[in-house]
Structure 1
């Protein structure tokens, strides 16, 4: 049987696109995707929202649930929000369990993923997962 030219083109296009279609290694409770990069370093990619709380929620959830860190473990922004390394057209934030070489950011009262060194404890970050649960009441 001869394979149609259209079928071959579809298969070829699928094979070419395959490397860029990496699947998430893990999904946080808020459905954000988390991609491990190296030991204690990972990227969070939100599904549609760009709310800062969603990035921190996924980072805290991943650190506690998958990496089994203590609730007091600090999580640091190692690469600020920008183009995702894993999802084309999406934004991501890279987090680390160790402070960046320039050290942690000074304490502030703002919640940010725009500066290297911004940090929260894993428990504080994970608590942002529960904010949306109580908005409907």
Structure 2
């Protein structure tokens, strides 16, 4: 794998992790939203990744294929005074697990940081190689 392929692979990973961090931020911001923009409780969003060739056969990057809604059921909270409560007094809350989202955020942030370090290391190696040739 060539030096420039390293930049492409790490760059694709940075872009993918950025989308993942945005999805986590959206999920966290709407974790307590009773009614979403469509009039229903917010549904957690999950990012789906896929490997993608980058230039030559040896280099594999990553791309976001789609962002999907989590199909797991929402939480039911007993609050009969809430206007969104059903006839039994339960309010359907978003299916966002704050613990899972925090784990996703830490994982995505570390992956982003690691790929930024890969790009920085590749840049330093390239600069060192250029200085040797002088």
Higher relative contact order (CA 8 A, sep 6+): 2
More helix by share: 2
- TM-score, with length taken from structure 1: 0.29
- TM-score, with length taken from structure 2: 0.29
